[in-house]
A = this chain, B = another copy of it.
Amino acid sequence: MLLTVNLKSEEPIYLQIRNRVVEGIASGALREGDPLPTVRALAAELGVNLHTVNKAYSFLRIEGFVKMMRSRGTVVTVPRRGRDTQDFLDAAAAAIKNIVTEAITRSVGREELTGMIHKIYSELEGKKK
């Protein structure tokens, strides 16, 4: 199953679901128009509450990753470059600032961090066949 979660993780369940969907889109496993499980079906499959899945899907909708349609279900939508992209870049810059700051205090060089970036790009884009 593509959408799995770790109930013991300190990362909120709804964020784990959200991240799995984004990863699916990034790797090509999920494409424009692909249906996601219904909120009730995924909740039952994961052993969590309906509202937890609904929260994940609602976040994804706000971010432009899915389209929810009552009585029809939820499908994947690949976002185009737009205002959401700028929001992402701002958040990424803030997160990277924290990472780089601590890296410097621990004598971790920039090659080690840029290496992580290249590694994950390769892993995910490699799956896009």
Contacts and interface: CB of A to CB of B under 8 A. Distances in A.
Interface of A: 19, 22-23, 25-26, 65, 78-79, 81, 84-85, 88-89, 92-93, 95-108, 110, 112-114, 116-118, 120-121, 124-125
Contact of A117 (B22, B81, B110): B110
A126 to B, nearest CB: 11
Q: What's the dominant secondary structure at chain A's contact region?
A: helix
A114 B116 contact: no
Contacts of A88: 102-103, 106, 108
Given A19-B101, A110-B121, 8 more contacts: A23-B101, A79-B106, A92-B116, A96-B99, A96-B116, A100-B124, A114-B118, A117-B117
